[in-house]
């Protein structure tokens, strides 16, 4: 990782200072520099400052808010998986969509993702839910909203993160070629509606949630399809084994 920190704030003292630019991986900083100066992002930071100062617990921890970018520099992005909201339970979220820290139980949606990978590629079901190995291979695991209040799902929706992640997707679409976007569920598909299909591959399926997984996520074979697309583009396929 090329940044010393991926936090909105370098330390508790920085909460008072509200630095102009968050620390984020160097290639992403180059792409997104002007976004951090926009009024909506300044308002977002002020909202987070007030949440923290009021004693509310925010997930993921500030040092991991931009982990998706830190583990997957802009130049390395080959695949994008879009999530929605970070996990809101203690110890779960660490900045990568669908991923959880090793010491906590695997959430139901990720269990279903693992089942599909097993059926698609014959890989063993992992014993933990940490997806950092995917990110290091060029899979950007991007949530629409990058923070959440403990035990309060969607509590940071509509505060500015959606505009920021829209810009992230647009920059990938505009500046890169041959990226595979995996859009699971209506929310992700709406979020990705402006991706340039002439330059990129977009695979869609229902969300892997237990509520929708049987309506088409199981059997979608997105993981083998992704690797076939990457191979045709003469890119290294993803090792989906955890």
Give 162's DSSP letter. Answer: H
Q: How far apart are CA 201 and CA 178, in angstroms?
A: 7
Q: How far apart are CA 214 and CA 216, in angstroms?
A: 6
Asked if residues 139 and 79 have their Cβ atoms less than 8 Å apart, the reply is yes
Average predicted confidence (pLDDT) for the chain? 92
Q: According to the model, what pLDDT value does residue 23 have?
A: 84
Q: Dihedral of the CA atoms 32, 68, 107, 62 (nearest 10)?
A: -80
Give 125's DSSP letter. Answer: P
The verdict on whether 85 is a catalytic residue reads: yes
Long-range contacts, 47-52 (Cβ 8 Å, 24+): 47/156, 47/159, 47/160, 48/8, 48/147, 49/15, 49/18, 51/149, 52/15
Averaged pLDDT, 174-198: 97
Residue from 10, 85, 119, 120 carrying the catalytic annotation: 85
Whole-model pTM: value is 0.92
**pLDDT exceeds 80 at position 3:** no
Q: How many CA atoms lie within 13 A of 24 on its CB side?
A: 23
Task: Give the closest residue to 165 by CA, choosing from 186, 185, 142.
Answer: 142
Residues whose CB falls within 8 Å of the CB of residue 14, separated by 6 or more in sequence, listed in order:
none
**pLDDT exceeds 90 at position 20:** no
Region at 221 (left for phi over 0; alpha for psi -120 to 50; beta for the rest): left
pLDDT in tens, 61-99: 999 999 999 999 999 999 999 999 999 999 999 999 999
Q: How far apart are CA 220 and CA 206, in angstroms?
A: 9
């Amino acid at each position: 990782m090329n940044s010393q920190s991926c936090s909105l704030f370098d330390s508790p003292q920085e909460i008072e200072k509200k630095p102009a630019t968050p620390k984020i991986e160097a290639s992403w900083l180059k792409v997104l520099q002007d976004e951090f100066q926009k009024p909506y992002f300044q308002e977002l930071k002020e909202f987070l400052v007030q949440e923290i100062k009021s004693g509310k617990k925010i997930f993921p921890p500030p040092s991991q808010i931009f982990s998706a970018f830190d583990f997957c520099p802009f130049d390395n992005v080959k695949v994008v998986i879009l999530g929605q909201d970070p996990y809101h339970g203690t110890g779960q979220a660490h900045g990568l969509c669908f991923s959880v820290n090793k010491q906590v139980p695997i959430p139901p949606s990720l269990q279903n993702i693992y089942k599909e990978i097993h059926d698609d590629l014959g890989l063993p079901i992992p014993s933990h839910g940490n997806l950092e190995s995917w990110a290091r291979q060029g899979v950007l695991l991007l949530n629409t909203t990058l923070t959440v209040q403990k035990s309060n799902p969607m509590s940071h929706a509509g505060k500015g993160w959606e505009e920021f992640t829209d810009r992230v997707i647009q920059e990938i679409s505009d500046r890169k070629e041959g990226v595979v976007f995996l859009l699971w569920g209506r929310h992700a598909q709406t979020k990705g509606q402006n991706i340039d299909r002439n330059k990129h591959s977009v695979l869609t399926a229902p969300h892997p949630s237990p509520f929708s997984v049987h309506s088409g996520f199981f059997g979608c074979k997105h993981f083998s399809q992704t690797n076939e697309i990457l191979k045709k583009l003469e890119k290294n396929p993803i090792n989906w084994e955890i």
